[in-house]
Structure 1
Amino acid sequence: MIRALRHLVLALGLGLAAGAASAQGADPGIVESDFLTIEFDRLFAESAYGERVAERLEQEGTEIAAENRRIEAELTSEERELTEKRATLDPMEFRALADAFDQKVQGLRREQDAKARAVGELSERLRREFITASEPVIEQIMREAGAVVILEKRSLFLSADVIDITDAAIARIDAEIGDGSEASEAPAQP
């Protein structure tokens, strides 16, 4: 009963808000409402900016993975050679070679881990830049709707799709910001 009442109140409120938006000549697709919702992950992923960032991060990740496979093959070969030499070497000499090999492996692992962390940090930085660049566009939509707040849709228990501005925001961000390639991007490698 309470749930049905909640749905009825929500439907009536949104119906009135949609009517008011139409009457005032607001942008079609943007309802006049105090509350709007947005799916940030979808906004980022489906915008031209987010698609460009994803492509770049995928490329850098692929390069690191290929480098890891190459290094692994080289180290496997080097380890095999070291194992074959073991029978002919003095134990102290072998121990020194094995320790040097181990240090090399550890150093390479640290380098590759640093590269992977750099890509993760780049991803976070580019997401923050996207938020900064898209904020004025989203604020304009908020003003047009007469909204006082925009909520992340995933944090809501129940909402009507009519207050979701994700699609409109993607379209406007693509039109006003594009893929964001003008923004400066530092290389992911440390």
Structure 2
Amino acid sequence: MKTLIIAATAAASLLATAASAQQAPANPGPVIPGVCVYYNARLLAQSSAGQAVEARMQQLAQEVQGELQPYATQIQTEAQQLQTSGSSLPADQLQQRRQALQQRAQEAQQLESTRENELRYTLGMQRQAITEAVSPILTALYQEKGCGLLLDRESVFMMNPAMDVTDLAIQRLNTALPTLSFNRMPVPAQTQAQPAAAN
């Protein structure tokens, strides 16, 4: 199974690590009044809710892998048996077993695709919950700090750290949304239909 979710959450952690490890200049320059900066990827990686999502998504991905592994093993075993004993079978039996194997392989691929879509959808919904929780926090910080402009940290190469509101956002989010508990979510039918309509 593709490790899409684990890779996505690991990427968020790497982004946060890279940002904190970036060499700060000896003279960070002046604080520009009214300009604030916020780093969403760091909030997702370092907030308690973001870390809970990452840990739970890894658990869910492992559960899915455990569910899919028996299918892969069974299909591989059957394919090996057909390869070794296929020549001794009558042509019609060989054809039937090949078709049955092909059908099982297609069913396994469909299940894998369904589970991957469920994991992707589940991750998206949890990130949406974090975004909804942090939105009023950012609005409050914007007003408290007298920001006239709030920039995305990913668009800013260097800055004076005094303009970064991310740490405060993380602290307040940890209070407002200390954790998230969830299970794998089925993808709603209208969401499943959208990619097909877009193609």
TM-score by length of 2: 0.73
Letter in 1 for 2:49: Y
Alignment gaps of 5+ in structure 1: 1-6, 18-32
Question: What corresponds to 1:164 in structure 2?
Answer: 164
For the residues of structure 1 that align with 2:176 and 2:111, how far apart are their CA atoms? 39
Asked if 2 retains the 8 angstrom alpha-carbon contact of 1:38 and 1:152, the reply is yes
Asked if 2 retains the 8 angstrom alpha-carbon contact of 1:115 and 1:188, the reply is no
For the residues of structure 1 that align with 2:183 and 2:149, how far apart are their CA atoms? 34
Change in 2 beyond 3 A, CA 1:114/1:102: same
Question: What corresponds to 2:52 in structure 1?
Answer: 52
For the residues of structure 2 that align with 1:130 and 1:47, how far apart are their CA atoms? 10
CA RMSD between the two structures: 2.1
Give the number of the structure whose alpha-carbon radius of gyration is greater.
1
For the residues of structure 1 that align with 2:112 and 2:36, how far apart are their CA atoms? 43
CA-to-partner distance for each residue in 1:63-84, whole Å, 9 max, x for gaps? 1222333322121122223334
Letter in 1 for 2:34: D
CA-to-partner distance for each residue in 1:48-93, whole Å, 9 max, x for gaps? 1111111111011111222333322121122223334423321122
Question: What corresponds to 2:29 in structure 1?
Answer: 11
Question: What corresponds to 2:79 in structure 1?
Answer: 79
Question: What corresponds to 2:152 in structure 1?
Answer: 152
Q: Secondary structure at the match of 1:11?
A: coil
In the TM superposition, what are the counterparts of 1:26-175 in structure 2 within 5 Å?
Answer: 33-175=33-175
Asked if 2 retains the 8 angstrom alpha-carbon contact of 1:37 and 1:153, the reply is yes
Asked if 2 retains the 8 angstrom alpha-carbon contact of 1:48 and 1:178, the reply is yes
Change in 2 beyond 3 A, CA 1:98/1:180: closer
Identity %: 19
Asked which structure has the greater RCO (Cα within 8 Å, sep 6+), the reply is 1
For the residues of structure 2 that align with 1:187 and 1:69, how far apart are their CA atoms? 18
1:187 counterpart = 2:197: no
Moved over 4 A (4+): none
Letter in 2 for 1:88: S
TM-score by length of 1: 0.76
For the residues of structure 2 that align with 1:61 and 1:35, how far apart are their CA atoms? 40
Letter in 1 for 2:61: G
| TM-aligned CA deviation for residue 97 of structure 1 | 1.3
CA-to-partner distance for each residue in 1:114-147, whole Å, 9 max, x for gaps? 1012101211121122111111112111111011
Asked if 1 retains the 8 angstrom alpha-carbon contact of 2:29 and 2:159, the reply is no
